[in-house]
Amino acid sequence: MATKTTSIALGPELADYARRKVESGEFGSTSEVIRDALRRAAEHDVRLAALRQAIQEGVDSGPPQPWDFEAFRREMRANYKGAA
């Protein structure tokens, strides 16, 4: 993969944070700190999109239906006992 150099401006707090991460040995360079942050942001976006999709599927599934918790527990117990 070809590397593209991009210049960014960090405020004093973020620049200090990145410097501390490098000085601690956790990262080899400020660029690594920034790449890690971007990877984490991208992963967050994927998880957020999946959550939003699940919420929309729930909304689209129609009105809520009655649910009997005790019947559910009885069924789970019966299935658990039958699995042994």
Residue numbers of the domain that contains 32: 12-83
1 falls within a domain: no
4 falls within a domain: no
7 falls within a domain: no
Total number of domains in the chain: 1
Q: Could you give the C-alpha distances from 80 to 1, 11, 42, 73, in angstroms and in order?
A: 51, 57, 40, 10
69 falls within a domain: yes
44-50-52-58 Cα dihedral, nearest 10 degrees: -150
75 falls within a domain: yes
What is the value of pTM for the model shown?
0.69
24 falls within a domain: yes
From first to last of its 84 residues, the chain has per-residue pLDDT tens of: 678 899 999 999 999 999 999 999 999 999 999 999 999 999 999 999 999 999 999 999 999 999 999 999 999 999 887 655
5 falls within a domain: no
58 falls within a domain: yes
